[in-house]
Amino acid sequence: MFIRHKFESIMPIKENLNLPILLITAAATGSLMTFWISHQVKKKRDRKSMQDRLERRRKEILNKSISQKASTEKAAPVGTLVTNLKIDEVYLWSIQSLSECFESEVSTDTINRMHGMRRASEKDRSLIETTMTNYNQLIQENECILADLVRTPNISESDLTVQRTVAYVRAGPREQLFFNPKTVNAAIVTCGGLCPGLNNVIREITNTLFYLYAIGGKVYGVRGGYKGFYDPALPPLELTPSVVENIHHSGGTILGSSRGGFDFDKILNFLRQYNIKQLYVIGGDGTHRGAYAIHEGCMKVGLNVAVAGIPKTIDNDVDYIDRSFGFESAVEAAQNAIRVAKTEAYCNLPNGIGIVKLMGRSAGFIAVHATLSSGDVDLCLVPEVPIVLEGSNGCLPHLYEVVKSKGFAVVVVAEGAGEELLGVSAETDASGNKKLPAIGEYMKKVTEKFFETKGEACTVK
């Protein structure tokens, strides 16, 4: 009867079954009994586990609420205090200050404020100072941005006795000015290759000097790069808010640009002739080598000039900055080239392949970001990763498989890729940058040859 009672919960037992038959049934279905018992135990265990998890979650929510309330009362950040992460020492990459060698032109009790400026009238383009407003925030001495953001918990004493990080000087308005705005003359020069956003930078420097600092002097635009400091055919352009008002809608730079032409003695003569106190140099690595030479030269001869270097590279390959101006515009412009390459590859038979060479002298940021943004690229080659043409991980077998799979392929290659295949050029341009190998033409040639070894033709555009 005990056996019958258990089985009635699983299957109905007819009243006219004899006991021997019932016993045989129970023996034959012993595995069913085992399953039923284990199932009931598991359900009970799962219910207990669920109740435990809900209870732990309830306690976590309660503790978090208490912690947040305590943090609010102490003006501490919201979150959990992690006690096994720390920063012991911060090393600031300081910038040389002119105050170390020259006396400031303003008194120490003069506080930096924004000067509200307006034009006298539509016809009269002169500026009239109307208000003086405090900045929302002034940057304090040694205020910085940490460079090493990642921290590993529980680093043992044997691994690292002291956790150190480097930091960069934070940009922004300071409480004390060094130059008297009423006596400031400034100059702006653009050097090297063109880059989206150059006119925007020229415009904002000019407007900031006039509208926020109310300078009493002039802003000179040096034309044609470094050679514009001394070329009589390129006199400086006087920049005012009215001159730069709409230049951000135009491409390139209204000042013009060129490579090379650096001559410190002639540049020094320009700075003295126009009584320049602030020089803004917009350019890449070659341009900044020149800017540093100007700074060092001015310090050597005792000329009180602040030299500000503004990193300009469409390739986004300047160290210590997250993103350079013009880079995102370049990635956007590359999309159209990739779409055209896809159309060429798709429509040209047999085995169409489109190759797009993008800018990227020593870093493949444009190529990589354009590839990720597009979604149409099958192979991306960058200077940071050596190109392997053949073998199990080779680019050419990969392209062949892609073409056989969908009928066409699209390749994006950065201009600086492939030096391990074509060699490093000893030639340089006027800015001192090495000349690059013709990687696009090379990839076209080796791709066509690889398909020939397979007994097939391909159309590479």
Percent of the chain with pLDDT over 90: 51
Residue 49: predicted pLDDT: 80
Cα(324)–Cα(282) distance, rounded to whole angstroms?
Answer: 12
Residue 125: predicted pLDDT: 72
Residue 46: predicted pLDDT: 77
> Are 303 and 336 within one domain?
no
Which residue type sits at 110?
A: T
Which residue type sits at 321?
A: I
Res 34 pLDDT > 90: no
| Residues with a known catalytic role | 315
> Are 195 and 255 within one domain?
yes
Residue 452: predicted pLDDT: 95
On whether residue 418 sits in a domain, the answer given is yes
Q: 138 by DSSP, 3-state: which?
A: coil
Q: Tokens in use for 143?
A: 């205020």
Residue 72: predicted pLDDT: 65
Residue 250: predicted pLDDT: 93
Residue 427 neighbours by CB under 8 Å, 6+ apart: 434, 435
Res 429 pLDDT > 60: yes
Q: What is the DSSP string of 267-286?
A: HHHHHHHTT-SEEEEEE-HH
User: Which long-range contacts does 107-115 make (Cβ < 8 Å, 24+ apart)?
Assistant: 108/176, 110/176, 110/177, 111/175, 111/176, 112/138, 112/173, 112/174, 112/175, 112/176, 112/177, 114/212, 115/181, 115/211, 115/212, 115/213, 115/214
> Are 274 and 337 within one domain?
no
Average of per-residue pLDDT values in the chain: 85
Res 79 pLDDT > 80: no
- Is there a contact between 256 and 228 (Cβ–Cβ < 8 Å)? yes
Q: By mean pLDDT, which of 161-175, 245-259, 340-354 is the weakest?
A: 161-175
Residue 437: predicted pLDDT: 78
Q: What is the largest CA-CA distance in the chain?
A: 123
On whether residue 97 sits in a domain, the answer given is no
Residue 1: predicted pLDDT: 43
Percent of the chain with pLDDT over 70: 85
Report residue 97's pLDDT band, with 50, 70 and 90 as the boundaries.
Answer: confident
> Are 268 and 348 within one domain?
no
CATH number at residue 384: 3.40.50.460
> Are 298 and 250 within one domain?
yes
Question: Which pTM does this prediction carry?
Answer: 0.74
Question: Where do the H-state alpha helices sit in 124-261?
Answer: 198-207
Given its phi and psi angles, is residue 225 left (phi above 0), alpha (psi -120 to 50 degrees) or beta?
left
Q: By mean pLDDT, which of 86-95, 382-391, 420-429 is the weakest?
A: 420-429
Q: Which residue has the tokens 């044609």?
A: 224
- Is there a contact between 430 and 424 (Cβ–Cβ < 8 Å)? no
Residue 2: predicted pLDDT: 45
Mean pLDDT of 323-342: 93
> Are 276 and 332 within one domain?
no
Residue 10: predicted pLDDT: 46
On whether residue 436 sits in a domain, the answer given is yes
Cα(97)–Cα(307) distance, rounded to whole angstroms?
Answer: 11
Angle at the Cα of 94 from the Cα atoms of 89 and 97, rounded to 5 degrees:
145
Among 29, 59, 89, which residue terminates a domain? 59
Report residue 15's pLDDT band, with 50, 70 and 90 as the boundaries.
Answer: very low
Closest CA to 167 of 96, 89, 86, 98: 89
On whether residue 81 sits in a domain, the answer given is no
- Is there a contact between 151 and 83 (Cβ–Cβ < 8 Å)? no
Residue 299 CB: number of other CB atoms within 10 A? 17
Residue 319 CB: number of other CB atoms within 10 A? 6
Mean pLDDT of 107-127: 79
Which residue type sits at 277?
A: K
Q: How many structural domains is the chain composed of?
A: 3
Residue 6: predicted pLDDT: 46
Report residue 126's pLDDT band, with 50, 70 and 90 as the boundaries.
Answer: confident
Report residue 33's pLDDT band, with 50, 70 and 90 as the boundaries.
Answer: low
> Are 263 and 358 within one domain?
no
For residue 315, give the DSSP letter: T
Q: By mean pLDDT, which of 61-65, 137-141, 279-283, 345-349 is the weakest?
A: 61-65
Q: By mean pLDDT, which of 96-110, 336-350, 422-436 is the weakest?
A: 422-436
Among 38, 59, 80, which residue terminates a domain? 59
Q: Tell me the per-residue pLDDT of 396-417, one tens digit each, with 9 for 90 and over.
A: 999 999 999 999 999 999 999 9
Residue 22: predicted pLDDT: 47
- 273 φ, ψ (degrees, to nearest 5): -60, -40
Residue 301 CB: number of other CB atoms within 10 A? 9
Res 367 pLDDT > 60: yes
Beta bridge partners of 215: none
Q: 120 by DSSP, 3-state: which?
A: coil
Report residue 161's pLDDT band, with 50, 70 and 90 as the boundaries.
Answer: low
> Are 269 and 364 within one domain?
no
- Is there a contact between 294 and 262 (Cβ–Cβ < 8 Å)? no
**Whole domain around residue 431: which residue ranges?**
327-460
Res 44 pLDDT > 60: yes
Q: DSSP strand E in 164-259: where?
A: 164-169, 186-190, 219-222, 237-239
Which residue type sits at 113?
A: R
> Are 371 and 416 within one domain?
yes
Residue 220: predicted pLDDT: 98
Residue 13: predicted pLDDT: 46
Among 23, 41, 59, which residue terminates a domain? 59
> Are 302 and 366 within one domain?
no
On whether residue 235 sits in a domain, the answer given is yes
